[in-house]
Structure 1
Amino acid sequence: MSQFSRHSPEDRAAFLAAVDGARPLRQPDRVSLDGPKPSPRPRQSEIDEAAVLAELLHGSLAIDDWLDLGGADSFLRGGVPRSVLRDLRRGRWSIQGHIDLHGLNRQQAHSQVAQFVAAALSAGKRCLRIVHGRGHGSPGREAILRQLVKVWLGRHREVLAFCHAPPNDGGDGALWVLLKSGVQPRRLP
């Protein structure tokens, strides 16, 4: 039973008279799609990383942390051949990323270093330069960030080695850092 058979002949005639001469609308020759959906985000991962970062930024440093690495001019992870540090010092690795911490306080610097190292690991970068400064703008002209950055990097398992940059690349106001290859990023301890 068609749609028109339910209506009276008068209704049908009135409808046909009303649409007499009408032409169907042109069909567009493209498909109408909804906008792209956002990619899924690993929310729990983001929450966990934020919690770790907050804990690290507000935690106090033990005296051992200051003594472990603070005064060291270089660092080499245990089990890594000394030739790795020698090659890093000689500039055999090309710098693939750079961050400058001038003007930042301890919390800001730690956050920036943590994010920088995590981003470098995610991007597959191996050799980085971190400019921490010489402490000339600090109270008492002490290079607090220089000591802290060394401690933070020494705690990070993915850091194989670091050393002061040569004078033409920042000298003792900058570090060259070598990361492990092919690792998933972890937060800086």
Structure 2
Amino acid sequence: MKRPNPPRITDEDRRLFRDAIGEVQRLAPMAPPPATERPAPHPRMFEADEAAVASELLDMDFDPATLEVGEELGYLRDGYPPRLLRQLKRGQFSVGDELDLHQMNAAAAQASIVAFLAEARQAGVRCVRIVHGKGLRSKAAGPVLKALTDRMLRRRDDVIAFASARAAQGGTGAVIVLLKEQK
């Protein structure tokens, strides 16, 4: 749509304006403020993340004996037929979206999982893959993101079932999640 041209300013408009504002005194041009040297960037968030790792690992309620690096995950909510979990393990559901948690700390991974599952349900996606990794660099702490993913998915009401992915889809480093239908 084309905007209308502004009305032209007439000599009468100019005269009325000058009469209304009175005498005008021009100001001398001002010099720009002196340039200040900017401080060097400081990686505050990186340092905070690194400092938080130790306390996060201590707060994880993680027992390495309960979940080994190569252990497969599997869960089926009560009230659903066992064939759903078997179908999920066999790869009989089409994965509609994927989330990769690699390089995330536990807090970022947790927030990402919550947001990802909400977006998937909103979009009507019933089956998703979450790549949590195998925890090979987690050392004595065990697979931190794998344990976090397992715990979170078991507690969510919108998760019907989940199982470790087939080898071609990430194996024990990923889970395939079946979500309830959006109502």
For residues 116-168 of structure 1, the C-alpha deviation after alignment (integer angstroms, 9 at most, x for no partner) is 00000100000000000011222437211101101001100000000000111
Tell me, yes or no, if structure 1 residue 82 matches structure 2 residue 78: no
For structure 1, which segment, 78-87 or 141-150, has the greater mean C-alpha deviation from structure 2 after superposition? 141-150
Matches within 5 A, 1:1-189: 63=61, 71=67, 73-140=73-140, 142-183=142-183
> Aligned partners of 1:145 and 1:100: how far apart in 2?
11
Match of 1:15 in 2: none
For residues 11-30 of structure 1, the C-alpha deviation after alignment (integer angstroms, 9 at most, x for no partner) is xxxxxxxxxxxxxxxxxxx6
Q: Is the 8 A contact 2:73 2:175 kept in 1?
A: no
Q: Which amino acid aligns with 1:120?
A: A
1:182 partner SS = coil
> Aligned partners of 2:85 and 2:160: how far apart in 1?
9
For structure 1, which segment, 141-150 or 172-181, has the greater mean C-alpha deviation from structure 2 after superposition? 141-150
**Structure 1 position 82, deviation (Å):** 0.5
The alignment's C-alpha RMSD in Å is 2.5
The answer for unaligned runs of 5 or more in structure 2 is 5-55
For residues 5-46 of structure 1, the C-alpha deviation after alignment (integer angstroms, 9 at most, x for no partner) is xxxxxxxxxxxxxxxxxxxxxxxxx6759xxxxxxxxxxxxx
Bigger Rg, structure 1 or 2: 1
Q: Which amino acid aligns with 2:93?
A: W
Question: What percent of counterpart residues are identical?
Answer: 36
> Aligned partners of 2:92 and 2:139: how far apart in 1?
36
**Structure 1 position 74, deviation (Å):** 0.3
Aligned residues: 125
Q: Which amino acid aligns with 1:93?
A: F
For residues 102-121 of structure 1, the C-alpha deviation after alignment (integer angstroms, 9 at most, x for no partner) is 11110000011111000001
For residues 50-95 of structure 1, the C-alpha deviation after alignment (integer angstroms, 9 at most, x for no partner) is xxxxxxxx9x9685xx57xx64720000101101111111111100
Question: TM-score of the superposition, structure 1-length normalised?
Answer: 0.60
